[in-house]
Amino acid sequence: MLFKGRYSAREAESPADVIRAQSLRAKVFGGGRFDLDADDYDTRCAHILVEERATGDLVCCFRFLRLDDGRDISQSYSAQFYGLEALEKFAGPMVEMGRFCIDPARRDPDILRVAWGAMTRYVDENGIELLFGCSSFTGTDADNYLDTFGILSQRHLAPRRWLPRVKAPSVVRFAQMLRLRRPDAKAAMKQMPPLLKTYLMMGGWVSDHAVVDTHLNTLHVFTGVEIKAIPASRKRLLRAVAQ
């Protein structure tokens, strides 16, 4: 368990804990269309809960799927939507971080800090070399995020050796579509999900296209962070929170 200020992070210990996470996920991703967001991956993942210490309220959750190396990446949630054959060559342990969400009624940036502290501790304790997952944008209208997609295309695309291929039936090929666009950097940062901002500050990279997910009413990009590539100053900050 990790304690920081008003919040604590811990791994789910019971089916009731997982149901709490599924309920928060439904609130964030489902918009009231369903009571629980649940799938077959929930039984294979470790679930992390971030709670307000004074009340016990669940304010954030996410899940981890650990893989021994890239040969197992076809078992990941992301592999349903992206062609990840290139990453089958990745030699080290990896973890998929998924269904990350924060209660929309909460605005405290310390929630995200505690969540990343928990992630950092997990990465360090398990010798993880690649952290990956899907970073989601609310809604499925790509026009709302053109500046962000433009910045991603110009500055943050995956190295060619790891670049995911198109697999999902409905995608936005933003790198191709926006190659001549001059994005507004200020607008791009305003549109960008906080989780994705943090990935990029750690040296993360993204796919060259976004998947249109009508079930969760999101657009998402595949996102990867090679742990050895995280700047030393950023590693120190993360580990300070993880202590």
Q: Check: CB of residue 230 under 8 Å from CB of residue 131.
A: no
For residues 80 and 66, the answer to whether their CB atoms sit within 8 Å is no
Q: Which domain range does residue 7 map to?
A: 2-242
The tally of CA atoms less than 13 A away on the side-chain side of residue 208 is 17
Instruction: Please give the tally of structural domains in the chain.
Output: 1
pLDDT digit string (tens) for the chain, length 243 residues? 787 789 999 999 999 999 999 999 999 988 778 899 999 999 999 999 999 999 999 999 999 999 999 999 999 999 999 999 999 999 999 999 999 999 999 989 899 999 999 999 999 999 999 999 999 999 999 999 999 999 999 999 999 999 999 999 999 999 999 988 899 999 999 999 989 999 999 999 999 999 999 989 999 999 999 999 998 888 888 788 767
Classify 175 as helix, strand or coil.
helix
pTM of the model: 0.93
CATH number, domain containing residue 139 = 3.40.630.30
